[in-house]
Amino acid sequence: MNILIIGGAGYIGSHVAREFLDQGHRITVYDNLSSGLRENLFPEEAFIHGDILDYTGLLRAATGDNTHRVSKMPVFDAIIHLAAFKAAGESMIKPEKYSVNNITGTINILNAAVEGGIKNIVFSSSAAVYGEPEYLPLDEKHPTNPENYYGFTKREIELFLGWYEKLKGIRFANLRYFNAAGYDVKGRIKGLEQNPANLIPVIMEAAAGKRPEVQIFGDDYDTPDGTGVRDYVHVNDLALGHLAALEYITRNDKSLTVNLGSETGISVKEIIEAARRISGKPIPARIVGRRPGDPAKLTASSKLAHEVLGWTARYSDPDTLIRSTWEVYKGTAK
């Protein structure tokens, strides 16, 4: 297939692009490089440096830059949309930024897809749509009550996609990622996220001597060791999930909303211990207060992904998550 990957130079997007290239698809990446990196681009793919808020540019990309084309045949078979701001904490302080980029930007993408006759969209949604869990593991039937504005933008986009399906015949896959982590197990992607706030890159920066310590946000949760438990899913697994989801919606002409998680809960302390063992670095850690809005435990049911996509996380064990990440960070160690 010929695929437009919007946000394809980012951390998750570059892993998705790599997987689709490996499977023989043709790729064009559209990215404004605000957090994406040139070094995450591959020689086999086309690249358009563009912003999703620039509707004209987006339309040109979606229609193959040929506004006078005679044929109305779509240029792309599918869009994979990963372009968003994703810091949940920041979204509570700067909702405007998330409204404009995540929501307005996505509406531009949907309208450009309609104009370009592109019928299939794979969307990076998030477990943040669920909010505080009423039960665990979270399945797709769990009510969606996002606790932060970021999660709200993801839920709204899922609803827009539902309407564009009804009104414009767009097929979509909403992929509700749990905690994305790890780096390409074959070592082909090395771009580091700038100013990370997520646990694993923070631990890696401490291991590499770029920050003095890891702050553990609370050890008094109702979990076995008192620290927060999350479902970490390797980006290579996520990338395979995109492939399976696009195949599913095109083959069955049917949309899909599905969790992508490992179904395994790992605590903050367990991740730090694994990182110490694998890196051989002491990684100083200090317990500080809870971070507002953090639930004690989040784990996914990926039963649906297994049943309909034949997808199961293969690389999401703590050792592979940490080892593949340390491979990238150790080169930056002081």
Q: Which of the residues are catalytic?
A: 150
The full DSSP string for 238-289 is HHHHHHHHHHHHHHHT--EEEEE--S--EEHHHHHHHHHHHH-----EEEEP
Q: Does 153 bind ligand WQD (CB under 6 A)?
A: no
Residue closer to ligand WQD by CB (options 156, 294) is 294
CA dist 172 and 159 (Å) reads 11
Category of 282 on φ-ψ map: left (φ > 0), alpha (ψ -120 to 50) or beta:
alpha
Residue closer to ligand WQD by CB (options 63, 279) is 279
Q: Does 199 bind ligand WQD (CB under 6 A)?
A: yes
Residue 208 phi, psi (nearest 5): -85, 0
Q: Are strands 120-126 and 78-81 parallel, antiparallel or unpaired?
A: parallel
* Binding map of ligand WQD across residues 5-44, x = CB under 6 A, - = no contact: ----------------------------------------
Q: Are 166 and 290 in contact (CB under 8 A)?
A: no
Range in contact with ligand WQD (rule: CB under 6 A) among 57-65, 67-75, 164-172, 208-216: 208-216
Site residues for ligand WQD, 166-185, by CB under 6 A, read 177, 179
Q: Does 198 bind ligand WQD (CB under 6 A)?
A: yes
Site residues for ligand WQD, 270-299, by CB under 6 A, read 291, 294
Shortest Cβ 230–ligand WQD spacing (Å): 5
Residue closer to ligand WQD by CB (options 46, 288) is 288
Q: Does 234 bind ligand WQD (CB under 6 A)?
A: no
Q: Does 102 bind ligand WQD (CB under 6 A)?
A: no
CA dist 334 and 331 (Å) reads 9
CA dist 76 and 213 (Å) reads 46
Secondary structure element (H or E) that encloses residue 180, with its range = strand 179-181
* Binding map of ligand WQD across residues 110-149, x = CB under 6 A, - = no contact: ----------------x-x---------------------
Q: Does 268 bind ligand WQD (CB under 6 A)?
A: yes
Q: Does 216 bind ligand WQD (CB under 6 A)?
A: yes
Residue closer to ligand WQD by CB (options 61, 207) is 207
Of 36, 228, 241, 265, the one binding ligand WQD (CB under 6 A) is 228
Q: Does 332 bind ligand WQD (CB under 6 A)?
A: no
- For residue 224, whether the previous peptide bond is cis, meaning omega lies within 30 degrees of 0, is no
Of 2, 111, 215, 332, the one binding ligand WQD (CB under 6 A) is 215
Helices in the chain by DSSP H: which ranges? 11-22, 55-62, 88-93, 95-98, 105-115, 149-168, 199-207, 235-252, 268-279, 303-304, 318-329
Q: Does 4 bind ligand WQD (CB under 6 A)?
A: no
Shortest Cβ 154–ligand WQD spacing (Å): 7
Q: Which residues have a Cβ under 8 Å from the Cβ of 91 and sit 6 or more positions away?
A: 85, 97, 98, 148, 149, 150, 153
Q: Does 202 bind ligand WQD (CB under 6 A)?
A: yes
Give the count of residues interacting with ligand WQD (CB under 6 A): 20
Q: Does 230 bind ligand WQD (CB under 6 A)?
A: yes
CA dist 29 and 165 (Å) reads 24
Shortest Cβ 311–ligand WQD spacing (Å): 18
Q: Are 81 and 12 in contact (CB under 8 A)?
A: no
Within 10 angstroms of residue 10's Cβ, the number of other Cβ atoms is 27
Kindly list the residues in this chain that would bind ligand WQD in the complex (CB under 6 A).
Answer: 86, 88, 126, 128, 150, 177, 179, 197-199, 202, 214-217, 228, 230, 268, 291, 294
